[in-house]
Amino acid sequence: MPRTISLLSRQAPLASAEHQRATLTALPLAREFGDAAQAAGAWPLRPHAIATLQINVGKLCNQTCRHCHVDAGPDRQEMMSRETMALCLRALASTTIPAVDITGGAPELNPHFRWLVEQATAMGRHVMDRCNLTVLTTAGQADLPEFFARHRVEVVASLPHYRATNTDRQRGDGVYEKSIAALKRLNEAGYGDGRSRLRLVLVTNPVGAYLPPSQASLEAEWKRELLRLHGVAFDALYCITNMPISRYLEWLIESDNLAAYMERLVTAFNPSTVSGLMCRDTLSVGWDGLLYDCDFNQMLDLGVDAASARHIRDFDPAALATRSIVVGRHCFGCTAGAGSSCGGSLAS
Ligand code: SF4
Ligand code: SF4
């Protein structure tokens, strides 16, 4: 059963990004990420054109999952203001960045979330919402499926497993039942039927200290089982590797799995994943407007290496295009096995 409050509220040392980075740095690893990237012919790691603006609108969440890399929860207050959202929209308007990926916490709990979606879709951008599903069952959110459908939002929903036990073990008692109810509501609104072009993606990550299995084979199994068990349909399954940061890092330490897990990630480094790393075509904005190469770097307080463009108010595509991506040992989580990103596996 997950803890009920965040690292921050517990005043746990791992609430500090610096402490997390130091914990990873202290491990006796066989190689550094930069050496691995260099051997793969991709050093320094440079960005391609920005294809996705990923906006993290805050750490407030109705859940407190054990593996959360954001240290989100009902006790977190950090929230993007409408003014900062307006700066994100201004940046979007100055570019042709085609996609906006809204994440949190539970992004829908930000009071300006729907406004942001409306503005971004009115600009013709494809909007994705990282949804934990149970938020649809919270006060005032029951109409979210219809809101999403109206704005043709792609719903990228997290569900650890198609069975109850594994899901509730990672996310808390009763989460599975609520998640299935939310999926049925999304199906009713036209999501996942393959005809309405309302895309519903499920995201799964391992419950323990291992790498995700093959995405393609799991997707077929999940589609079959969710349909059989609950009559639920969806379009695609993304398998994501757990990153050794925040509450998952705490769990690795407490379960004495950290050294072995990191070794597993390093050993499984796959050079063919480097070209598709999400940091190469995504720019991540924190709740306070600071810019990062990805959501993971955001949680580790590793801002972009572009002195003149560290905040969305100073958004400068030219300066950002020439930056080097900031990496660390956590990056092995993106390159292990089939690779991992917000869009699932990177290699087959
Ligand atoms: S993993 Fe997602 S749903 Fe769970 S606490 Fe973190 S942000 Fe919330
Ligand atoms: S953690 Fe971020 S910076 Fe590191 S490889 Fe993954 S996406 Fe890139």
Neighbours of 55 (CB within 10 A): 30
Beta bridge partners of 80: none
Does some domain include residue 2? no
Does some domain include residue 95? yes
Q: Which of 160, 164, 296, 168 is nearest to 237 (CA)?
A: 160
Ligand number nearest to the C-alpha of 47: 2
Task: List the structure tokens of 263.
Answer: 């070794």
Does some domain include residue 187? yes
pLDDT of residue 172: 84
Does some domain include residue 117? yes
CB 6 within 8 A of CB 73: yes
CA 324, 126, 212, 220 torsion: positive or negative?
negative
Query: pLDDT (tens digit, 9 = 90+) per residue, 128-187?
Result: 999 999 999 999 999 999 999 999 999 999 999 999 988 888 888 899 999 999 999 999
Longest dimension (CA), the chain: 54
Does some domain include residue 345? no
Does some domain include residue 181? yes
Q: Ligand 1: residues within 6 Å at CB?
A: 61, 63-65, 68, 70, 72-73, 104-106, 132, 158
Kindly report the CATH number assigned to the domain that includes residue 319: 3.20.20.70
Q: Whose CA is nearest to atom 4 of ligand 2?
A: 331
* Helix or strand holding residue 37 (H, E): helix 33-39
Chain position carrying tokens 């092995």: 332
- Give pTM, 2 decimals: 0.96
pLDDT of residue 1: 47
CB 148 within 8 A of CB 174: no
pLDDT of residue 4: 58
**How buried is residue 88: exposed, middle or buried, by Cβ count under 10 Å (0-12/13-18/19+)?**
buried
Does some domain include residue 341? no
- CA of 223 from ligand 2 middle (Å) equals 29
Task: Provide the number of structural domains found in the chain.
Answer: 1
Round to whole Å and give the CA distance between 144 and 185: 9
- CA of 294 from ligand 2 middle (Å) equals 6
Q: Whose CA is nearest to atom 2 of ligand 2?
A: 294
Round to whole Å and give the CA distance between 301 and 283: 15
- CA of 293 from ligand 2 middle (Å) equals 7
pLDDT of residue 206: 87
Does some domain include residue 18? yes
- CA of 65 from ligand 1 middle (Å) equals 5
Domain that holds residue 176: 13-335
With a cut of 70, which residues of the chain have pLDDT below it? Answer: 1-4, 348
